[in-house]
Structure 1
Amino acid sequence: MQSINGHSAACCNIPPVVSKGYIPKGTYETIGGLKTYVSGPPSAKKAILVIYDIFGYYPQTIQGADILAQGSGEEHQVFMPDFFEGQPAKLEWYPPVTDEQMKSLMDWFAPRKPDIAIERIPSILKNIEEKYGEKSWGAVGVCVFFRCHLGIFLIQSRADLMIYYCWGGKVIAITSGADSPWKVSAQLHPGMMDVEDAGKITIPHVVLASEEERKDMDAYEKELKVEKYVETFKDQVHGFLSARADLEDEVKRREYERAYGVLVEWFGKFL
């Protein structure tokens, strides 16, 4: 699929992507009882809530948030709450290839279902607007997921059951339905793609997928009945726009830049 205007000029409107040693442009505040990364001018009337992936505040994810705040030519204030309260998953657990790694991930996920974010979003938005004034809201959910075949890992069972774990993308899919607080939303390399979620989305929506989600995208896109932009980025790994982004590789850095350019263009159009 082509970009919104039929070309990729949005990439020219974002700050240069830093491949190593990124210095965050924002600051950390306490909002709604949570440490929150805040980037962009406080006077902005448009705001974006970013829901990070399971690895939390990684430099590549923070740089993406800064791009959303700076890159549109319009003022956006971006907020990224620490829903994991200083206890993100460890990157070395992913992808899980041993019983020990899988157990670590499963134990970590048990108390950290997407509901812990969904339940707190209304109060977080309220607290932000009490401090900074009323905002027009968009949202981006970043996802890293894994599949667990329970016949192989952790239990002595032959049950043919696959469990899909994701985070930010799932939060955004669920909160983009009826009475959504967002005017526009996006999922980045989503896991746990449920066509029922897609059918309930009521606002303009973006899905930027990696090669690893390609087989799930057609059915998901078909159920999106709203104005949408859906693209699968060839040869990119799951997590290429967040913690697993290899920005020292020129090709991968270009695709990271292009994807965030799409988001900047999309949010500029609808927010």
Structure 2
Amino acid sequence: MAEQSEVNEQCCTLPPFKSDYVPVGKRFTLQIEGQDDLEVYETGDPDAKQALVAIHDIFGLHSNTLQGADYLAQLRGYRIVIPDFFRGKGWDINDIPPKAGRPALNAWVQEVGSWEKVQPGLIATVENARRLGAASIGAYGFCFGAKKLVQGAHLKLFKCMGFIHPTNFQPEDADNVDVPIALLPSQGEDPKAMDAFYGKIQTKPIADASVRQDFLDVHHGFASARSNWADPKLANRAREAYQVLDAFFQRNL
């Protein structure tokens, strides 16, 4: 699959909300052959048989993203792991909009977040979850992370996948997807692209098990780094998104 790495307009213009949230999970390190060690955030029940692998947005392991994972883990007792594919060097939260312009951000994402760099760590994270007893593994991704999940769909690592305010989805991204999906677009995504992608999903045997719920009253990133849990409306919509994911995973894991 072609490396479609461009980010959308709101991703280039809206900075993440700063937060003093203290995540309740822990961190551990995986060794990846040919790459630097991979730090992974873990939250939820470490003995859970249902595990979720989450892929962050361009800001890496931002506290708002981790707060969402903590919330989702508490809903049903999942074990959730979020590998830090940027090795602690996500995009600078103070450089939005990018001082060097949108092309600089696009180039950075294509370089540090290429599928070739993400794939080994993603496979290692899944293999580690299986070693630790996970019997059923799903995944969800935000923005950049959602794109990585569709790029890796051919590996068949997950029983089901959730895509929350995905970046730069193309209709053909659905071609290799053969497990149930949850699509949660915000106002920041191209509605024609969302319709075309989900339209292709609806032609597949996974159609009845898949779900789409639009969050068009909130901005791109509202459930990850650009979430604001101190704002009642945004916090409520973020919780609703995670509740949609919870119901979806319960049906399909």
Is TM (by shorter chain) over 0.5? Answer: yes
Contact 1:31 1:128 in 2 (8 A): no
Give SS of 2:28's match.
Answer: strand
Contact between 2:73 and 2:80, CA under 8 Å: does it hold in 1? yes
Structure 2 partner of 1:168: 145
- Identify the residue that residue 24 of structure 1 maps to in structure 2: 23
Aligned residue runs from structure 1 range 1-271, under 5 A = 21-32=20-31, 33-72=37-76, 75-96=77-98, 100-102=100-102, 104-115=104-115, 116-130=117-131, 132-143=132-143, 167-177=144-154, 179-213=155-189, 214-224=191-201, 225=204, 226=206, 227-271=209-253
C-alpha distance in 1 between matches for 2:192 and 2:111:
30
Deviations 1:7-43 (CA, angstroms, capped at 9, x unpaired): xxxxxxxxxxxx9532211001112331110111221
Q: Secondary structure at the match of 1:39?
A: strand
For residues 114 and 259 of structure 1, the distance between their equivalents in structure 2, rounded to whole angstroms, comes to: 27
Deviation for aligned residue 1:109? 2.4
Q: CA deviation at 1:245?
A: 1.2
Distance 1:45 1:124 in 2: 15
Gaps of 5+ in 2: 1-17, 32-36
Contact between 2:38 and 2:121, CA under 8 Å: does it hold in 1?
no
Structure 2 counterpart of 1:200, one-letter code: N
Instruction: Tell me how far 1:101 sits from its aligned partner.
Output: 3.9
Partner deviation per Cα, 1:195-218 (whole Å, 9 max, x = no partner): 111132101101111112134221
Structure 1, unpaired ranges of 5+: 1-18, 144-166
Indicate the percent of aligned positions where both proteins have the same amino acid: 32
Write the letter of the residue equivalent to 1:48: L
**SS of residue in 2 equivalent to 1:120:** helix
Stretches (4+) displaced over 4 A: none
User: Is the 8 Å Cα contact of residues 40 and 69 (structure 1) preserved in structure 2?
Assistant: yes
Q: Distance in 1 between matches of 2:110 and 2:118?
A: 14
Deviation at 1:90, TM superposition (A): 1.4
**Bigger radius of gyration:** 1
Task: Count matched residues.
Answer: 224
Cα RMSD for the two superposed structures = 2.0
Quote the offset at 1:240 in angstroms: 0.7
